[in-house]
Amino acid sequence: MRRKDLLGIRELTVEEIETILDTAEAFREVSRRNIKKVPTLRGRTVINLFFESSTRTRTSFEIAAKRLSADTINISVATSSINKGETLIDTARNLEAMVPDAIVIRHPSSGVPHQLARICRNTSVINAGDGAHEHPTQALLDALTIREHKRTIRGLEVAIIGDIAHSRVARSNLHLLTKLGANVRVAGPRTLLPPEIGRLAESRPGKIVVTSFVEEAIEAADVILLLRVQLEREASAHFPSLREYASFYGLNAKRLQLARKDVIVIHPGPVNRGIEVASDVIDGPYSLVYEQVTNGVAVRMAVLYLLMGGNKLDAVKEVHEATHQERAGSRPVTTTTDAS
Amino acid sequence: MDFVFKFQLMDAAGINRALSRIASEIVERNCGSRDLMIIGIRRRGVPLAERIVKKIEELEGIRPSLGTLDITLYRDDLSTVDVKPVVHGTHIPDPVEQKTVILVDDVLYTGRTVRAALDELMDFGRPKKVQLAVLVDRGHRELPIHADYVGEKIATKQTEIVKVMLEGYDETEQVIVVEQKER
């Protein structure tokens, strides 16, 4: 894979997706060893820059980096100078001057990782979720979990249920699943279903069907992907009440029977029990939520391994030259200030 | 890159004879096949290790355990390569404690692969002994490493490449020496 950044699934080729998944499969074994560490990324530095709360993703990235022997630093907004009014561009330039090898970023605004990737020319930028845009490593770990149980993704019928409009998990999964040839049915309250979402799969082997009847989506499905009702993002303003959501769209044991007998249920977490899914389903035999978390570490190890390459001496030299130019008074080359 | 064929070092029968001899040497030196673990280094070391295990079983009636080592994550040149090599995964079937581990590879050259393999193996525990078996030793060591069991030892030029071709991986089973064409 020849790529500096992982910003989304949309721009990945099928071969790249498969390389990441195959590599992740090999990395699973490292986490089962007595000594859960390999020296592969020794001397590399990974910065976790999280502008939004997260347990799974941040911990998962940190564990992945540590099992590859990289050094990790966590910056959460509460303890950073962002509170003092520093702009994202300034924060990025300052972080890059410390020559990290990768920055993992989560941000409530779509497109922030892309901007960061343009500013940091020598640092790999990994999108850990940006607004309602993409969450690529989540889709990759979902795919790894699906592949493990169904052998292949091609030809599967996948139901994605919930707030499609605001979900970066849904968007990344729609890209990945249709690229690899699965057919996806999306279902949810009509207010949270962008009608044009099906166009996202144009000229892809897999197709997208949109329905507001959850039963229609679940019928004979191989995989059910549940989305979290994002209570913190006024998603609940789009339907009358949580109780109504649970009774019309929640996955319960009765609805689950409509699916194929060997159906698997996945959920990106954190789970709202009793809202998008009943407790007996999420704790039941079809649910793979903990396997997803385990696979998350393997996928992130694979992504870090595949992205962090090249000779770092050149990068140090470039940063030096850039700071020299600034001191000499000449304007440094600004890559993006996109005020427009 | 283009290569010029130089000569054939071993044919299929030669490979088979060399592996038979290596298998009996392993058994002789370790007084039987108890507590033996044969670990093949990916890729060509893996089929060679499988064959050695089969031969030891024929000789002794006890089948030593068989493992696979992928040393990619322990390579010392990862920071200099742009496109990352594919990782295939490691499989060590039992605890290595109290075991005599025989590492198996096709060609011993700089010794860097074996260094990586030793480091990875030690992360799984503390084997009683580690020995090295190779089909071809071609010289040019860059590290203080030597093989305990050698199929064939030859002097080579650094521009030459020793190609081990095995049934199931390549069309004909043989070991040949080729040289990079001068441009």
pLDDT, one tens digit per residue, over A22-34 is: 999 999 999 998 8
The answer to the question of residue B54 being in a domain is yes
Mean pLDDT, range A52-69, rounded to an integer: 94
Q: State the pLDDT at residue A339.
A: 38
Token pair listed for A96: 């890059």
Out of A27, A309, A312, name the one closest to residue B84 (CB).
A309
Out of A23, A35, A302, name the one closest to residue B123 (CB).
A35
Between A43-52, A167-176, B79-88, the lowest mean confidence (pLDDT) is in: B79-88
The better pLDDT of the pair A131, A329 is held by A131
Q: State the pLDDT at residue A31.
A: 93
- Dihedral sign computed on CA atoms, order A78, A75, A91, A64: negative
Residues of A engaging B, defined by a Cβ cutoff of 8 Å:
1-2, 19, 22-23, 25-27, 29-30, 33-35, 37-40, 43, 68, 302, 305-306, 309-312
Calpha distance B116→B120 (Å, rounded): 6
Token pair listed for A146: 């699906």
Is the ipTM here above 0.85? no
Count how many Cα atoms sit within 13 Å of the Cα of residue A187 in the half-sphere of its side chain. Answer: 23
Three-class secondary structure assignment of A44-107: CEEEEEECCCCCHHHHHHHHHHHHCCCEEEEEEHHHCHHHHCCCHHHHHHHHHHCCCCEEEEEE
**CB-CB contact of A87 with A93 (8 Å):** no
Give the count of domains, chain B. Answer: 1
- In which order are the strands placed within the sheet that holds B65-69? B65-69, B36-41, B100-108, B129-137, B149-153
Token pair listed for A112: 């922030």
The answer to the question of residue B91 being in a domain is yes
Amino acid at A50: F
A57 pLDDT more than 90: yes
Find the CATH number of the domain harbouring B49.
3.40.50.2020
Q: State the pLDDT at residue A171.
A: 97
Task: Please choose, from the candidates B10, B78, B45, B2, the residue with its C-alpha nearest in 3D space to the C-alpha of residue B147.
Answer: B45
**3-class secondary-structure state, position B30:** coil
The answer to the question of residue B50 being in a domain is yes
Query: Strands, DSSP E only, in chain A?
Result: 45-50, 71-76, 102-107, 124-130, 157-161, 183-187, 208-211, 223-226, 264-266
Q: Which residues of B touch A305 (CB under 8 A)?
A: 73, 84, 87
Amino acid at A24: A
Q: Inter-chain contact B119–A312, Cβ cutoff 8 Å?
A: no
The answer to the question of residue B81 being in a domain is no
The answer to the question of residue B94 being in a domain is yes
Task: Please choose, from the candidates A297, A239, A294, A243, the residue with its C-alpha nearest in 3D space to the C-alpha of residue A266.
Answer: A294
* Phi, psi angle pair for B56, to nearest 5°: -65, -40
How far does the CA of residue A4 sit from the closest CA of chain B (Å)? 10
Between A13-17, A86-90, A234-238, B16-20, the lowest mean confidence (pLDDT) is in: A234-238
Residues 6 or more apart whose CB falls under 8 angstroms from that of A319 comprise: A96, A97, A99, A122
The answer to the question of residue B82 being in a domain is no
Count chain A–chain B contacts defined by CB atoms under 8 A: 54
Q: State the pLDDT at residue A332.
A: 42
- Dihedral sign computed on CA atoms, order A52, A54, A59, A60: negative
Mean pLDDT, range B107-136, rounded to an integer: 96
Q: State the pLDDT at residue A296.
A: 97
The answer to the question of residue B165 being in a domain is yes
When pLDDT is cut at 50, 70 and 90, the band that residue B181 belongs to is: confident
Task: Tell me which residue range forms the domain holding B15.
Answer: 3-75+87-180
Mean pLDDT, range B67-93, rounded to an integer: 87
- pLDDT digit string (tens) for A256-282? 999 999 999 999 989 999 999 999 999
Q: Best of A33, A36, A299, A301 to disrupt the B interface by mutation (most B CBs within 10 Å)?
A: A33
Cα distances (angstroms) measured from residue A122 to each of A16, A54, A117, A190, B82: 21, 26, 9, 43, 13
Between A198-207, A282-291, B44-53, the lowest mean confidence (pLDDT) is in: A198-207
pTM: 0.87
Cis-peptide, bond into residue A194, ω within 30° of zero: no
Q: State the pLDDT at residue A77.
A: 80
**3-class secondary-structure state, position A308:** coil
How many CB atoms are located within 10 Å of the residue A144 CB?
23
Q: State the pLDDT at residue B33.
A: 82
